[in-house]
Every structure is written in C-alpha cells, then in structure tokens.
Amino acid sequence: MRTASYRLVVIAALLGAACVPRPDPIRVAENTVILENQTSRDWRNVVITVNDHFRGGAAKLAARGRLTAPLSQFQTGFGQRYDIGRSVFKVEVTATDSSGELVALKYGGDLKKR
C-alpha cells in the first residue's frame, strides 16, 4: 500500500513539473535584464539593446546559460548610462549561434514577445 502511494506521488510530481510553462528568454526584474539561452547552441557577440538606445552584452553566452545584466551598466554610444528611474518598454537581443545562424529576440514595445 505504501509503495503504491509513493508511486502516485512521484507520478503526480513529474506530471506537474512537465506542465510548467518555460519562462520567457528575456525578463526584466529588479533593475536587471535576465537573458536565458534556451537553445542547445552557444551564442557569440550577444548584444542587448534596451529602449532603442542603451546597449550592453557579452562576448559569449553558453547553451542553456543565463546572463544577468544590471540596467545601470547599459549605456548609449555617447556614454550616457541608463537611469534606473526610467521604465523598460523594449529589449532587443541579437547574437550569432555556434552554427553561424542569427539569433534575434524581442521583448516589449509594440512587439509581441517571441
């Protein structure tokens, strides 16, 4: 009896975990941009653009890896830093994956999340 109950609990836990939706690859929380590479390929030359003007990024983001970037580190081409008082309305990410394919992700703005 105890073994059967244990099996039901394990099956229920596995089914519940399988039904959890995958998080968006781009999130903004607590003045930080969180980018997740949800693919099986490494990304190179990762560029994150916030609100069309403020840029940051990384040389590489490993497959299944996560990049967390404080908004205060983003800046324009003229060196102006992102003011934490501003709201984030748009984030765009570009990169190249390990097979040479272009990676392009968008969040917010008048664009639908992809």
Q: What are the tens digits of pLDDT across the range 6-16?
A: 766 666 666 66
Judge whether 15 lies within some domain.
no
Domain extent for 64: 23-108
Per-residue HEC secondary structure of the chain comes to: CHHHHHHHHHHHHHHHHHCCCCCCCEEEECCEEEEECCCCCCEEEEEEEECCCEEEEEEEECCCCEEEEEHHHCECCCCCECCCCCCCCEEEEEEEECCCCEEEEEEECCCCCC
pLDDT tens digits for range 15-25: 665 566 778 99
Report pTM.
0.77
Q: How confident is the model at residue 114 (pLDDT cuts 50, 70, 90)?
A: very low
Q: Is residue 104 part of a domain?
A: yes
**Percent of the chain with pLDDT strictly greater than 70:** 77
| Total domains, the chain | 1
- Residue 69 maps to a domain: yes
Please check whether residue 9 lies inside any domain of the structure.
no
**Domain for residue 53, yes or no?**
yes
- In-domain check, residue 31: yes
Residue 92 falls inside a structural domain: yes
43-77 residue pLDDT tens? 999 999 999 999 999 999 999 999 999 999 999 99
CATH number at residue 66: 2.60.40.2890
